[in-house]
Structure 1
Amino acid sequence: MANQAAGHPVTAAVLLTNPSDNLLIVRPAKENAPWQLPGGIVEMNESPFDAVRREGREELGLDLDVQEYDLFAVEWLQATRPGRRNRLAFIFAGPVLYPADTDRIVLQRDELDAWRWATRADAESMLHPALAARIVGPLQTPQRAHYRETRYEGTL
Structure 2
Amino acid sequence: MTADEPLYKRDPEAWRDHLAEGNAKQARKRVGADAILRDEGGRILLVDPDYKPDWDLPGGMIEANEPPLDGVLRELNEELNLQLDPSDLTLACIDWVSPHGPWDDSLMFIFDAGRLSSTQLAHLEPDLSELRRYTFLAPDEARDRLRPYVWLRLEAALKAAESHTVAYLHDGRS
Q: Under a length normalisation based on structure 1, what TM-score does the superposition of the two structures give?
A: 0.84
After superposition, what is the alpha-carbon deviation per residue over 1:104-138, rounded to whole angstroms, capped at 9, x for unaligned? 01111111110100110011110111110012244
Is the Cα–Cα contact under 8 Å of residues 66 and 94 in structure 1 kept in the other structure?
A: no
1:28 matched residue in structure 2 = 49
One of 39, 43, 57 as aligned partner of 1:18: 39
Distance 1:18 1:140, change over 3 A: farther
Contact residue 36 and residue 57 of structure 2 kept, 8 A: yes
Counterpart position of 2:110: 91
Identity fraction in percent:
28
> CA RMSD, aligned part only?
2.1
Extract structure 1 runs of 4+ deviating beyond 6 A. none
Instruction: State the 1:49 CA deviation.
Output: 0.5
Matches within 5 A, 1:66-105: 66-67=86-87, 70-81=90-101, 83-105=102-124
TM-score normalised to structure 2 length:
0.75
Q: 1:109 aligns with which of 122, 128, 146?
A: 128
Whether the 8 Å contact between 1:11 and 1:89 is mirrored in structure 2 is yes
Q: Which runs of 5+ in 2 are unaligned?
A: 1-26
Structure 2 residue identity aligned to 1:17:
R
Give 1 or 2: higher helix fraction. Answer: 2
What's the CA shift for 1:98?
3.0
SS in 2 for 1:67: helix
Q: Which SS does the other structure have where 2:33 is aligned?
A: strand
Q: 2:138 maps to what in 1?
A: 119
Letter in 1 for 2:68: P
Which residue identity is paired with 1:144?
A: T
* Match status 1:146 vs 2:167: yes
Letter in 1 for 2:69: F
The structure number with the bigger radius of gyration is 2
2-structure distance, mates of 1:56, 1:10: 16
Per the alignment, in what secondary structure is the counterpart of residue 88 of structure 1? Answer: strand
Contact 1:72 1:144 in 2 (8 A): yes
SS of residue paired to 2:51? coil
**Bigger relative contact order (CA 8 A; separation at least 6):** 1
Structure 1 contact 14–91 (Cα < 8 Å) conserved: yes
How much has 1:139 moved relative to structure 2?
Answer: 7.4
Is the partner of 1:64 in helix, strand or coil?
coil
Partners of 1:21 and 1:139 lie apart in 2 by 16
